[in-house]
């Protein structure tokens, strides 16, 4: 297995790897050194790859891009750049990553990668059977528009058009990088037409979503399916006494987690949220948070937590909209306030509001004490939001996404070897 990204990206692979290991498979995880200890905790073989998500999100360029530019502005700036700008440098980085991944793939019967590995599969054309895991639904469909496109009442033709446009823009930006690396490998360059449909015919695609959150479109092709949420529970994790005392005190605490993206949030975000929580009469528990900021005495900071233990003990969870954190809150059966900032976060924030388990999202650039306080008053006082969250929690808990994913992957290897067929 191979995954690059934040802990929220990596943790589902820890869950999948643990489940596959329990079924008798040998599992190797190629990921950043930041997650070496977690990989060992999951009982998986660790294989390092370059880069650090924490360093990435702490870089001034990334912070400036996420903090002060809207998604549309970031897209327009990227489109104004020459298509071949920095392609050789980016290809060199891709080659370094691919070199490490190639050594991780040696002897494997199956390679499972994240959606961020798509360019690697395009560039290197691995012969080993492979499957891709994605946090958001990118397969074209008439059921809903592409991520980032406005949702308009224009029907299926419009939704499919947004997927075509989205893929064309993505390929315009990534094609020079992929072809520069393919040139180094002695492979023919790929043309201007998007290659994603052809790629998708060669592998299995698993989307980590519950059908209760986003039903699978009827027009998805064979091999593209919802695999439910994958949870990695940590039976050996124990909370510290200060955390236990905080969650046992009434009223229940409010939890804040912005994952690896803390540096990209506006300055003073932590204190804005702390002030808003204080006005509700609840105590705030912060998972990580900016280390350089001093915390008020009534705020507890923790650096690690098993969300399956912590979130059910919270009155509300405030988070960034990552699919992993959002799914953990859904499973806990508590309301949420979403402050999206990056990539798929706005998509999932809108879904949480549509499900009725959260008020309208607060875009990160518009974060303020007043907006957070107003959202908390709704989650704490609106019985419809609380009832909806309590209703969906047991349904998510009862799903067996990991079991189905393991069976699917085993059947995919058999199918590719000519010894089996798809499980479904």
| Total-model pTM | 0.85
How far apart, in whole angstroms, are the C-alpha atoms of residue 202 and residue 124?
Answer: 13
CA pair distance 262, 321, nearest whole angstrom: 13
Predicted confidence at residue 423, as pLDDT, reads 35
What mean pLDDT do residues 218-241 have? Answer: 87
Q: Is the pLDDT of residue 195 over 70?
A: yes
Q: Is the pLDDT of residue 389 over 90?
A: yes
What is the structure's pLDDT at 343? 74
pLDDT at 113 over 80: yes
Beta carbons within 10 angstroms of residue 40's beta carbon: 12
Q: What is the pLDDT of residues 72-95, one digit of tens each?
A: 444 445 444 554 555 566 556 666
Has residue 420 got a pLDDT over 70?
Answer: no
Map residue 106 onto helix, strand or coil.
coil
* Per-residue confidence band for 395, with pLDDT thresholds at 50, 70 and 90: very high
**DSSP β-bridge partners for residue 284:** 254, 299
pLDDT value of residue 387: 97
In order of their start, the domains of the chain are 7-229+400-416 (3.40.50.2000), 241-398 (3.40.50.2000)
Query: At 409, phi and psi to the nearest 5?
Result: -65, -40
**Integer Cα distance of 409 and 14 in angstroms:** 16
List Cα–Cα distances, 115 to 139, 200, 207, 236, 361, in angstroms. 11, 11, 10, 30, 25
Q: Does position 418 have pLDDT exceeding 70, yes or no? A: no
**8 Å CB contact between 254 and 336:** no
- Which parts of 128-168 are beta strand (E)? 130-134
User: How far is the C-alpha of 131 from the C-alpha of 112, rounded, in Å?
Assistant: 5
Average pLDDT over residues 62-73: 52
Give the integer Cα–Cα distance in Å for 340 and 365: 9
The mean pLDDT value for 304-328 works out to 93
Q: What is the largest CA-CA distance in the chain?
A: 65
Mean pLDDT of the chain: 84
Residue 29, SS3 per DSSP? strand
CA distance 120 to 105: 13
Neighbours of 305 (CB within 10 A): 19
> What's the number of CA atoms in the CB half-sphere (13 Å) around residue 218?
1
Give the whole-angstrom CA distance, residue 221 versus residue 219. 6
pLDDT of residue 338: 97
Give the pLDDT band of residue 264 (cuts 50, 70, 90): confident
């Amino acid at each position: 297995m191979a995954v690059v990204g934040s802990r929220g990206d990596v943790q589902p692979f820890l869950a999948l790897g643990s489940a596959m290991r329990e079924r008798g498979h040998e599992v190797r995880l190629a990921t950043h050194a930041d997650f070496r200890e977690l990989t060992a905790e999951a009982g998986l073989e660790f294989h390092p790859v370059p880069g650090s998500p924490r360093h990435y999100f702490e870089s001034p360029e990334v912070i400036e891009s996420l903090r002060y530019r809207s998604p549309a502005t970031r897209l327009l700036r990227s489109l104004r750049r020459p298509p071949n700008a920095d392609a050789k440098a980016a290809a060199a980085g891709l080659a370094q990553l691919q070199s490490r991944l190639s050594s991780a793939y040696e002897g494997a019967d199956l390679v499972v990668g994240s959606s961020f590995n798509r360019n690697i599969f395009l560039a290197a054309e691995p012969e080993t059977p492979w499957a891709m895991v994605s946090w958001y639904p990118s397969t074209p469909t008439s059921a809903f528009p592409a991520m980032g496109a406005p949702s308009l009442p224009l029907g299926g033709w419009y939704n499919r058009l947004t997927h075509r446009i989205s893929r064309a823009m993505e390929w315009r930006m990534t094609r020079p990088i992929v072809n520069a690396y393919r040139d180094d490998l002695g492979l023919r360059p790929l043309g201007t037409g998007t290659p994603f449909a052809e790629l998708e015919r060669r592998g299995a695609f698993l989307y980590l979503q519950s059908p209760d959150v986003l039903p699978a479109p009827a027009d998805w092709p064979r091999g593209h399916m919802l695999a439910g949420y994958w949870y990695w529970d940590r039976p050996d994790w124990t909370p510290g006494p200060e955390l236990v005392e905080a969650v046992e005190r009434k009223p229940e605490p409010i939890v804040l987690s912005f994952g690896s993206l803390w540096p990209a949030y506006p300055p003073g975000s932590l204190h804005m949220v702390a002030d808003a929580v204080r006005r509700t009469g609840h105590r705030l528990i912060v998972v990580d948070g900016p280390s350089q900021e001093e915390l008020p005495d009534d705020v507890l900071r923790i650096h690690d937590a098993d969300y399956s233990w912590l979130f059910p003990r919270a009155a509300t969870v405030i988070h960034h909209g990552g699919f992993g954190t959002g799914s953990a809150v859904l499973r806990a059966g508590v309301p949420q306030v979403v402050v999206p900032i990056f990539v798929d976060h706005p998509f999932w924030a809108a879904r949480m509001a549509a499900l009725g388990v959260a008020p309208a999202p607060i875009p990160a650039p518009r974060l303020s004490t007043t907006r957070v306080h107003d959202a908390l008053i709704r989650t704490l006082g609106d019985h419809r939001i609380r009832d909806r969250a309590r209703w969906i929690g047991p349904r998510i808990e009862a799903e067996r996404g990991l079991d189905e994913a393991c069976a699917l992957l085993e059947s995919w290897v058999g199918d590719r070897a000519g010894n089996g067929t798809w499980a479904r």
